[in-house]
């Protein structure tokens, strides 16, 4: 891939939002350092996806989001897309589109409106697809790819934007363990090689604890714990906020969460 910018510092300051009269997020404060990986965890309905969409500017909110100190509010959408890229949990995959054409859509913020892809765009797309192992699938229709291959295509489209911050909403959703590890290994490798800042939501707490360098536990619209995986993933926190019985085992790659069967 052609040389991307280094990762940016992301600050979320006093972010509150909701749907109608229902408040979903209340005064969220978060900071992600350049090149860091913050995983937002929390029980279903805690507002994880809403938080990502608010950071992106897709959802109206109070408070401020800053990228390297620059507020994103009022930033032109194309300029924002050159800094922030997003891979949604349930992407809309257009019918009749090849993998290469889909990934090329990620170059849209970098070229004039309605302009055809330039040489630099084609080179970035080719490099991204090579790094993600998608080159042999370039001419395949998206609809014919497996779930894991489609997930890599969605990630490739985001990376083709050459962002400074990559936001991933449940990047391992509906993937089996092997494919989930492949996707997260890939994200981690790209982060370390290119200095990308990563903010993700993750449902699997063990994967979150082993890949992210910091976790933020979101519960009932508030950040109730933030720190290293070992600091956040505790039996007490899992009981209080998930209603779960679990042991936390410190492994070579980070903490693993093991459900404990009821004695009853």
| CATH value at residue 148 | 3.40.50.300
Of 187, 155, 201, the residue nearest 54 (C-alpha): 201
**pTM summary value:** 0.87
78 within a domain of the structure (yes/no)? yes
Distance CA(205)–CA(184), nearest Å, equals 13
Is 154 within a domain? yes
Q: Report the alpha-carbon distance of residue 37 to residue 197 in Å, rounded.
A: 6
| CA pair distance 214, 33, nearest whole angstrom | 10
**Look-up of token digits 């295509």:** 153
- Domain contains 264: no
Task: Tell me, yes or no, whether 3 lies in a domain.
Answer: no
Residue 5: pLDDT band (50, 70, 90) is low
Give the per-residue pLDDT at 2: 36
Average pLDDT over residues 30-59: 92
Phi-psi label, residue 36: left if phi above 0, alpha if psi -120 to 50, beta otherwise: beta
Confidence (pLDDT) at 260: 93
Does residue 190 lie within any of the structural domains? yes
Predicted pLDDT at 179: 83
Read off the pLDDT of residues 92-117 as tens digits, 9 standing for 90 and up.
Answer: 888 999 999 999 998 988 877 777 78
| Residue ranges making up the domain that contains 250 | 10-259
Q: What is each CA distance from 15 to 66, 79, 185, 229, 262, in whole angstroms?
A: 11, 21, 31, 23, 38
Look at the chain and report how many structural domains it folds into. Answer: 1
- Could you tell me if residue 200 is inside a domain? yes
* Residue 135 confidence (pLDDT): 95
Average pLDDT over residues 155-183: 89
Domain membership flag for residue 23: yes
Compare 27 and 111 and report the one with higher pLDDT: 27
């Amino acid at each position: 891939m052609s040389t991307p910018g280094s990762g940016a510092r992301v600050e979320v300051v006093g972010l509150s939002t909701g749907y109608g009269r229902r408040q979903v997020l209340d005064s969220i404060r978060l900071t992600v350092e350049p090149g860091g990986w913050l995983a937002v965890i929390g029980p279903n309905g805690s507002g994880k996806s809403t938080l990502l969409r608010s950071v992106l500017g897709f959802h109206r909110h109070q408070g401020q989001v800053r990228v390297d100190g620059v507020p994103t509010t009022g930033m032109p959408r194309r300029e924002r897309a050159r800094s922030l890229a997003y891979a949604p949990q349930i992407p809309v995959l257009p019918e009749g589109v090849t993998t290469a054409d889909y990934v090329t859509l990620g170059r849209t913020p970098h070229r004039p409106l309605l302009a055809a892809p330039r040489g630099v765009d084609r080179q970035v797309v080719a490099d991204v697809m090579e790094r993600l192992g998608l080159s042999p699938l370039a001419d395949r229709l998206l609809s014919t790819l497996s779930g894991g291959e489609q997930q890599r295509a969605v990630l490739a489209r985001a990376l083709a934007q050459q962002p400074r911050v990559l936001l991933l909403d449940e990047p391992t959703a509906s993937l089996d363990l092997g494919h989930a590890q492949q996707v997260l290994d890939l994200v981690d490798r790209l982060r370390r090689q290119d200095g990308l800042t990563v903010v993700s939501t993750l449902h699997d707490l063990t994967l979150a604890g082993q890949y992210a360098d910091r976790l933020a536990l979101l519960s009932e619209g508030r950040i109730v714990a933030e720190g290293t995986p070992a600091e956040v993933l505790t039996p007490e926190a899992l009981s209080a906020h998930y209603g779960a019985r679990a042991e936390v085992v410190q492994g070579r790659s980070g903490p693993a969460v093991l459900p404990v069967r009821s004695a009853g």
